[in-house]
């Protein structure tokens, strides 16, 4: 093995060997979409690139080859904000199928998708089943933030978090502080679409809006002014360890 984890850096011969030996061929998935007025459009893709490489370098014996980050995501709900570039759901599914097919040609045993953007989740779930049925490649799926949720909530109990919130802002303050516009950091407004008080029936219309601005006119959630780079630094090793442990346990179920 060359010791390299990024396919981007490998020669053909290095890739041939790495694909054969790898437990997981890993695809980081991000987005190119607005993240309120204080964060770059690349927020999810920066996290995808940095955190997935860190995962592969701290994998406790699991061998990983990391594919180039899929920086375009399914971001139709952000399209009215300037700069957002999106793939339609059907395009996104096709891109994943073609990447998986290529991985299979080179002898990859398992595809691991590590996702950093909520809008990608539904098309990934559909593509996952198509890939398993049609290409015969095992697909694992990790939402990085799902493994961090309890810790992120503990930082500021009761403060909403999500898109462009204190959590995502802390990550970019850690990895690319030069891209955070601190003067534009402010509490994000939320419009209540449904005043729901313990509904007694299943909802007939999901509470999430088709367009993000209908619920969050500033383009983000919660209070980014609470963000600190130290929060990200504390989180990263713990979440990485959790993900690796989960992968090892789930591999035993194959």
> Could you tell me the smallest distance in angstroms from the CB atom of residue 14 to Zn ion?
32
Nearer to Zn ion, 23 or 44 (CB): 44
- Contacts with Zn ion by CB under 5 A: the residue count is 3
Q: Is 50 in the site for Zn ion (CB under 5 A)?
A: no
Considering beta carbons, is residue 43 or 188 the nearer one to Zn ion? 43
Least distance in angstroms from the C-beta of 116 to Zn ion = 7
From the CB of 31, what's the least distance to Zn ion, in Å? 7
Q: How far apart are CB 225 and Zn ion at their closest, in Å?
A: 17
| Contact call for residue 49 and Zn ion (CB under 5 A) | no
Please list, in sequence order, all residues whose beta carbon lies within 8 angstroms of the beta carbon of residue 252, skipping any fewer than 6 positions away: none
> Rounded to whole angstroms, how far apart are CA atoms 23 and 194?
45
Question: Which CB sits closer to Zn ion, 108 or 143?
Answer: 143
Cβ distance to Zn ion smaller for residue 100 or 232:
232
Query: Which residue of the chain is nearest Zn ion when measured via CB?
Result: 44
Instruction: Decide: is 44 part of the binding site for Zn ion (CB under 5 A).
Output: yes
The least CB distance from residue 26 to Zn ion, in Å, is 20
Based on the shown chain and the rule CB under 5 A, indicate whether residue 23 belongs to the binding site for Zn ion: no
Contacts to Zn ion from residues 118-177, by CB under 5 A: 168
Question: Which range of residues in 44-52, 80-88, 123-131, 132-140 is near Zn ion by CB under 5 A?
Answer: 44-52
Question: Contact residues for Zn ion (CB under 5 A)?
Answer: 43-44, 168
């Amino acid at each position: 093995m060359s010791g390299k984890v990024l396919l981007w850096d490998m020669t053909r011969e290095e890739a041939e060997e790495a694909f054969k030996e790898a437990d997981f061929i890993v695809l980081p998935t991000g987005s190119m979409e607005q993240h309120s007025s204080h964060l770059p459009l690349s927020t999810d893709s920066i996290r995808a690139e940095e955190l997935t490489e860190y995962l592969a370098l701290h994998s406790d014996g699991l061998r990983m080859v990391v594919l180039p980050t899929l920086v375009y995501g399914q971001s139709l709900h952000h399209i009215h904000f300037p700069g957002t570039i999106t793939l339609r759901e059907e395009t996104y599914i096709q891109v994943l199928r073609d990447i998986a097919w290529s991985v299979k040609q080179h002898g990859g045993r398992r595809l691991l998708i590590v996702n950093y953007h909520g809008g990608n989740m539904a098309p990934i779930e559909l593509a996952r089943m198509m890939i398993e049925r049609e290409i015969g490649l095992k697909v694992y799926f990790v939402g990085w933030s799902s493994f961090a949720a309890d810790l992120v909530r503990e930082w500021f109990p009761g403060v909403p978090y999500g898109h462009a919130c204190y959590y995502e802002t802390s990550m970019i303050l850690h990895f690319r502080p030069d891209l955070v516009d601190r003067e534009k950091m402010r509490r994000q407004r939320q419009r209540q679409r449904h005043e729901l008080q313990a509904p007694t029936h299943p909802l007939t219309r999901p509470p999430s809006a088709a367009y993000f601005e209908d619920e969050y006119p500033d383009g983000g959630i919660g209070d980014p002014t609470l963000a600190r780079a130290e929060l990200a630094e504390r989180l990263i090793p713990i979440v990485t360890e959790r993900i690796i442990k989960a992968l090892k346990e789930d591999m035993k179920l194959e």
